[in-house]
Homo-oligomer: A and B are copies of this chain.
Amino acid sequence: MSEVTYVVTLQCRDTTGIVRALSNAVFAIDGNILENDQFTDPVTGQFCMRTRFTCERDVAEVSERLEGDLAAFTPTLTIRPETQRRRALVMVSQFDHCLADLLYRAEQGDLAMDIVAVVSNHGVCRELVERHAVPFVQVEVTPSTKSAAEDVVRELVERHGVDVVVLARYMQIISPQLCGELSGRIVNIHHSFLPGFKGARAYHQAYERGVKLIGATAHFVTADLDEGPIIEQDVARVTHARRPTEFIALGRDVERTVLARAVGLIAEDRVMLVGQRTVIFSQ
Protein backbone atom coordinates (compact mmCIF):
# COMPACT_ATOMS: atom_id res chain seq x y z
CA MET A 1 0.00 0.00 0.00
CA SER A 2 1.29 3.46 -0.79
CA GLU A 3 1.78 6.26 1.72
CA VAL A 4 -1.31 7.94 3.16
CA THR A 5 -1.45 11.21 5.10
CA TYR A 6 -3.69 10.99 8.16
CA VAL A 7 -5.14 13.82 10.26
CA VAL A 8 -5.96 12.87 13.83
CA THR A 9 -7.62 14.99 16.51
CA LEU A 10 -7.93 14.00 20.12
CA GLN A 11 -9.60 15.54 23.11
CA CYS A 12 -9.65 14.20 26.68
CA ARG A 13 -9.05 15.23 30.27
CA ASP A 14 -5.45 16.31 30.74
CA THR A 15 -3.08 13.83 32.34
CA THR A 16 0.49 12.63 31.78
CA GLY A 17 1.38 10.19 29.04
CA ILE A 18 -1.01 11.15 26.26
CA VAL A 19 1.63 12.49 23.87
CA ARG A 20 3.79 9.50 24.65
CA ALA A 21 0.97 7.04 24.00
CA LEU A 22 0.11 8.68 20.69
CA SER A 23 3.68 8.95 19.50
CA ASN A 24 4.32 5.33 20.44
CA ALA A 25 1.19 4.27 18.57
CA VAL A 26 2.25 6.20 15.45
CA PHE A 27 5.73 4.70 15.72
CA ALA A 28 4.28 1.20 16.01
CA ILE A 29 2.56 1.54 12.63
CA ASP A 30 5.72 3.02 11.06
CA GLY A 31 4.17 6.48 10.84
CA ASN A 32 6.10 9.70 10.44
CA ILE A 33 4.64 12.74 12.19
CA LEU A 34 4.50 15.84 9.96
CA GLU A 35 2.68 18.24 12.24
CA ASN A 36 1.75 18.04 15.87
CA ASP A 37 -0.15 20.62 17.89
CA GLN A 38 -1.36 20.31 21.42
CA PHE A 39 -2.89 22.50 24.07
CA THR A 40 -4.25 22.03 27.55
CA ASP A 41 -7.06 24.45 28.20
CA PRO A 42 -6.68 25.95 31.69
CA VAL A 43 -10.38 26.83 31.91
CA THR A 44 -11.76 23.34 31.32
CA GLY A 45 -8.71 21.17 31.94
CA GLN A 46 -9.24 19.61 28.52
CA PHE A 47 -6.24 18.34 26.56
CA CYS A 48 -6.49 18.94 22.79
CA MET A 49 -4.22 17.53 20.13
CA ARG A 50 -4.00 17.49 16.36
CA THR A 51 -1.49 15.28 14.61
CA ARG A 52 -0.80 14.88 10.93
CA PHE A 53 1.34 11.91 9.91
CA THR A 54 2.15 9.71 6.96
CA CYS A 55 1.87 5.94 7.13
CA GLU A 56 1.51 2.98 4.74
CA ARG A 57 -1.29 1.24 6.69
CA ASP A 58 -4.97 1.55 5.82
CA VAL A 59 -7.46 3.56 7.86
CA ALA A 60 -8.90 0.49 9.60
CA GLU A 61 -5.52 -0.58 10.92
CA VAL A 62 -4.56 2.95 11.91
CA SER A 63 -7.85 3.45 13.73
CA GLU A 64 -7.62 0.16 15.55
CA ARG A 65 -4.09 0.90 16.75
CA LEU A 66 -4.80 4.47 17.88
CA GLU A 67 -8.13 3.68 19.50
CA GLY A 68 -6.60 0.72 21.29
CA ASP A 69 -3.46 2.43 22.52
CA LEU A 70 -5.29 5.57 23.65
CA ALA A 71 -8.35 3.87 25.16
CA ALA A 72 -7.15 4.48 28.72
CA PHE A 73 -7.64 8.22 28.19
CA THR A 74 -11.23 7.76 26.91
CA PRO A 75 -10.62 10.44 24.29
CA THR A 76 -12.85 11.94 21.66
CA LEU A 77 -10.85 10.84 18.64
CA THR A 78 -11.16 11.59 14.92
CA ILE A 79 -9.01 9.81 12.33
CA ARG A 80 -9.20 10.83 8.68
CA PRO A 81 -7.11 10.24 5.57
CA GLU A 82 -6.43 13.74 4.34
CA THR A 83 -7.82 12.95 0.88
CA GLN A 84 -11.21 12.12 2.41
CA ARG A 85 -12.40 15.71 2.52
CA ARG A 86 -14.76 17.24 5.06
CA ARG A 87 -18.28 17.87 3.77
CA ALA A 88 -20.24 21.08 4.26
CA LEU A 89 -23.90 21.94 3.88
CA VAL A 90 -24.26 25.67 3.28
CA MET A 91 -27.42 27.57 4.23
CA VAL A 92 -28.18 31.00 2.83
CA SER A 93 -31.06 33.45 2.51
CA GLN A 94 -30.78 36.35 0.05
CA PHE A 95 -27.31 37.87 0.48
CA ASP A 96 -24.89 35.80 -1.57
CA HIS A 97 -21.49 37.37 -0.80
CA CYS A 98 -20.36 34.69 1.67
CA LEU A 99 -21.79 31.86 -0.41
CA ALA A 100 -20.21 33.14 -3.64
CA ASP A 101 -16.84 33.37 -1.92
CA LEU A 102 -17.02 29.84 -0.50
CA LEU A 103 -18.02 28.41 -3.88
CA TYR A 104 -15.24 30.30 -5.61
CA ARG A 105 -12.61 29.16 -3.11
CA ALA A 106 -13.76 25.55 -3.27
CA GLU A 107 -13.54 25.67 -7.08
CA GLN A 108 -10.11 27.35 -6.97
CA GLY A 109 -8.80 24.63 -4.66
CA ASP A 110 -8.14 27.11 -1.83
CA LEU A 111 -10.80 25.51 0.36
CA ALA A 112 -10.21 21.79 0.83
CA MET A 113 -13.83 20.92 1.49
CA ASP A 114 -16.77 19.53 -0.48
CA ILE A 115 -19.90 21.66 -0.52
CA VAL A 116 -22.46 18.88 -0.89
CA ALA A 117 -25.54 21.08 -1.15
CA VAL A 118 -26.89 24.57 -0.53
CA VAL A 119 -30.20 25.04 1.31
CA SER A 120 -32.06 28.32 1.07
CA ASN A 121 -35.41 29.78 2.08
CA HIS A 122 -35.20 31.94 -1.06
CA GLY A 123 -34.61 31.23 -4.73
CA VAL A 124 -32.23 34.06 -5.59
CA CYS A 125 -29.02 32.04 -5.16
CA ARG A 126 -30.13 29.09 -7.26
CA GLU A 127 -28.38 30.17 -10.44
CA LEU A 128 -25.10 30.91 -8.67
CA VAL A 129 -25.13 27.54 -6.92
CA GLU A 130 -26.11 25.43 -9.90
CA ARG A 131 -23.47 27.13 -12.03
CA HIS A 132 -20.93 25.53 -9.67
CA ALA A 133 -22.63 22.15 -10.12
CA VAL A 134 -23.79 22.04 -6.51
CA PRO A 135 -27.35 20.88 -5.67
CA PHE A 136 -29.63 23.74 -4.57
CA VAL A 137 -32.48 22.89 -2.21
CA GLN A 138 -35.14 25.51 -1.66
CA VAL A 139 -37.22 25.16 1.49
CA GLU A 140 -40.10 27.29 2.65
CA VAL A 141 -39.65 28.63 6.19
CA THR A 142 -42.81 29.90 7.86
CA PRO A 143 -44.00 29.20 11.39
CA SER A 144 -45.92 26.21 10.11
CA THR A 145 -43.23 24.85 7.75
CA LYS A 146 -40.10 25.53 9.79
CA SER A 147 -40.13 22.08 11.34
CA ALA A 148 -40.39 20.42 7.93
CA ALA A 149 -37.58 22.64 6.63
CA GLU A 150 -35.32 21.48 9.43
CA ASP A 151 -36.20 17.88 8.59
CA VAL A 152 -34.86 18.55 5.10
CA VAL A 153 -31.62 19.75 6.67
CA ARG A 154 -31.46 16.69 8.92
CA GLU A 155 -32.00 14.41 5.94
CA LEU A 156 -29.26 16.14 3.89
CA VAL A 157 -26.83 15.99 6.83
CA GLU A 158 -27.55 12.30 7.22
CA ARG A 159 -27.49 11.38 3.55
CA HIS A 160 -24.27 13.24 2.68
CA GLY A 161 -22.42 12.58 5.92
CA VAL A 162 -22.16 16.34 6.48
CA ASP A 163 -19.45 17.42 8.91
CA VAL A 164 -20.40 21.08 9.22
CA VAL A 165 -23.42 23.23 8.48
CA VAL A 166 -22.33 26.72 7.41
CA LEU A 167 -24.81 29.55 7.89
CA ALA A 168 -23.57 31.88 5.18
CA ARG A 169 -25.94 34.78 5.98
CA TYR A 170 -28.92 32.53 6.71
CA MET A 171 -31.45 34.86 8.32
CA GLN A 172 -33.63 32.28 10.09
CA ILE A 173 -33.14 31.06 13.65
CA ILE A 174 -32.18 27.41 13.96
CA SER A 175 -34.40 25.64 16.49
CA PRO A 176 -32.86 24.64 19.84
CA GLN A 177 -33.53 21.00 18.94
CA LEU A 178 -31.49 21.14 15.73
CA CYS A 179 -28.77 23.20 17.48
CA GLY A 180 -28.55 20.45 20.08
CA GLU A 181 -28.43 17.61 17.52
CA LEU A 182 -25.69 19.35 15.51
CA SER A 183 -23.83 20.76 18.52
CA GLY A 184 -20.35 21.93 17.53
CA ARG A 185 -21.19 21.45 13.86
CA ILE A 186 -23.06 24.66 12.94
CA VAL A 187 -21.03 27.76 12.08
CA ASN A 188 -22.48 31.24 11.69
CA ILE A 189 -21.08 34.58 10.54
CA HIS A 190 -22.15 37.67 12.44
CA HIS A 191 -21.30 41.34 12.08
CA SER A 192 -19.83 42.79 15.25
CA PHE A 193 -19.05 46.23 16.55
CA LEU A 194 -17.40 48.10 19.38
CA PRO A 195 -19.59 48.85 21.27
CA GLY A 196 -22.06 46.11 20.37
CA PHE A 197 -25.23 46.88 18.45
CA LYS A 198 -28.09 44.43 18.11
CA GLY A 199 -30.84 43.85 15.63
CA ALA A 200 -31.51 44.33 11.98
CA ARG A 201 -30.22 47.89 11.70
CA ALA A 202 -26.94 47.29 13.52
CA TYR A 203 -24.90 48.91 10.74
CA HIS A 204 -27.04 52.03 10.92
CA GLN A 205 -26.66 52.21 14.69
CA ALA A 206 -22.90 51.79 14.34
CA TYR A 207 -22.89 54.57 11.78
CA GLU A 208 -24.89 56.90 13.99
CA ARG A 209 -22.47 56.32 16.83
CA GLY A 210 -19.46 56.97 14.62
CA VAL A 211 -17.56 53.72 15.14
CA LYS A 212 -14.13 53.56 13.54
CA LEU A 213 -14.01 49.79 13.12
CA ILE A 214 -16.59 47.34 11.83
CA GLY A 215 -16.05 43.66 12.37
CA ALA A 216 -17.28 40.17 11.79
CA THR A 217 -17.22 37.10 13.98
CA ALA A 218 -17.49 33.48 12.85
CA HIS A 219 -18.77 31.34 15.71
CA PHE A 220 -20.38 28.03 16.53
CA VAL A 221 -24.12 28.19 17.04
CA THR A 222 -25.39 26.97 20.40
CA ALA A 223 -28.93 26.86 21.77
CA ASP A 224 -28.18 28.82 24.92
CA LEU A 225 -25.63 31.46 23.98
CA ASP A 226 -26.43 34.59 22.05
CA GLU A 227 -23.13 34.20 20.28
CA GLY A 228 -21.44 30.82 20.62
CA PRO A 229 -17.75 29.92 20.82
CA ILE A 230 -15.75 32.21 18.56
CA ILE A 231 -13.70 30.71 15.71
CA GLU A 232 -12.39 33.76 13.90
CA GLN A 233 -12.77 37.55 13.96
CA ASP A 234 -11.54 40.51 12.01
CA VAL A 235 -12.24 44.19 11.50
CA ALA A 236 -12.05 46.88 8.82
CA ARG A 237 -11.50 50.60 9.38
CA VAL A 238 -14.23 53.09 8.54
CA THR A 239 -14.42 56.85 8.80
CA HIS A 240 -17.16 59.38 9.45
CA ALA A 241 -17.29 60.00 5.70
CA ARG A 242 -18.62 56.54 4.89
CA ARG A 243 -22.35 56.23 4.40
CA PRO A 244 -24.39 53.37 5.94
CA THR A 245 -24.50 51.61 2.56
CA GLU A 246 -20.70 51.71 2.49
CA PHE A 247 -20.54 50.35 6.05
CA ILE A 248 -22.63 47.46 4.81
CA ALA A 249 -20.45 46.94 1.72
CA LEU A 250 -17.26 46.95 3.81
CA GLY A 251 -18.99 44.70 6.32
CA ARG A 252 -19.68 42.21 3.51
CA ASP A 253 -15.97 42.07 2.73
CA VAL A 254 -15.06 41.36 6.35
CA GLU A 255 -17.84 38.81 6.70
CA ARG A 256 -16.82 36.78 3.67
CA THR A 257 -13.13 36.84 4.61
CA VAL A 258 -13.76 35.82 8.21
CA LEU A 259 -16.21 33.06 7.31
CA ALA A 260 -13.88 31.69 4.62
CA ARG A 261 -11.03 31.53 7.14
CA ALA A 262 -13.21 29.80 9.75
CA VAL A 263 -14.48 27.22 7.26
CA GLY A 264 -10.93 26.68 5.97
CA LEU A 265 -9.75 25.93 9.51
CA ILE A 266 -12.61 23.46 10.01
CA ALA A 267 -11.80 21.82 6.66
CA GLU A 268 -8.38 20.94 8.03
CA ASP A 269 -9.62 19.82 11.48
CA ARG A 270 -7.86 22.76 13.10
CA VAL A 271 -10.79 23.84 15.30
CA MET A 272 -11.53 22.15 18.61
CA LEU A 273 -14.37 23.10 20.90
CA VAL A 274 -13.72 23.18 24.65
CA GLY A 275 -16.53 24.58 26.76
CA GLN A 276 -17.29 28.10 25.59
CA ARG A 277 -13.91 28.45 23.87
CA THR A 278 -12.28 27.17 20.75
CA VAL A 279 -8.72 25.97 20.42
CA ILE A 280 -7.45 26.83 16.93
CA PHE A 281 -4.39 25.02 15.68
CA SER A 282 -3.62 27.51 12.94
CA GLN A 283 -0.57 27.54 10.71
Contact = CB atoms under 8 A, between A and B. Distances in A.
A40 to B, nearest CB: 6
Nearest to A51: B19
Number of copies of this protein chain within its complex:
4
Interface in A180-236: 192-196, 207-213, 215, 217, 226-227, 229-235
A68 interface: no
Interface residues of A, number: 68
A239 B17 contact: no
Interface string A235-277: 1000111110010010011000100000000000000000011
Contacts of A252: 108, 110
Nearest to A208: B43
Interface stretch (A20-28, A134-142, A153-161, A165-173): A20-28
A33 interface: yes
Interface string A30-71: 111111111111110000000000000000000000000000
A213 B240 CA distance: 22
Given A230-B211, A242-B283, A36 B34 contact: no
A204 to B, nearest CB: 10
Interface string A80-121: 000000000000000001001000100010100000000000
A2 interface: no
B23 A210 contact: no
Interface of A: 16-17, 19-20, 23-24, 26-27, 30-43, 97, 100, 104, 108, 110, 131, 192-196, 207-213, 215, 217, 226-227, 229-235, 239-243, 246, 249, 252-253, 257, 276-280, 282-283
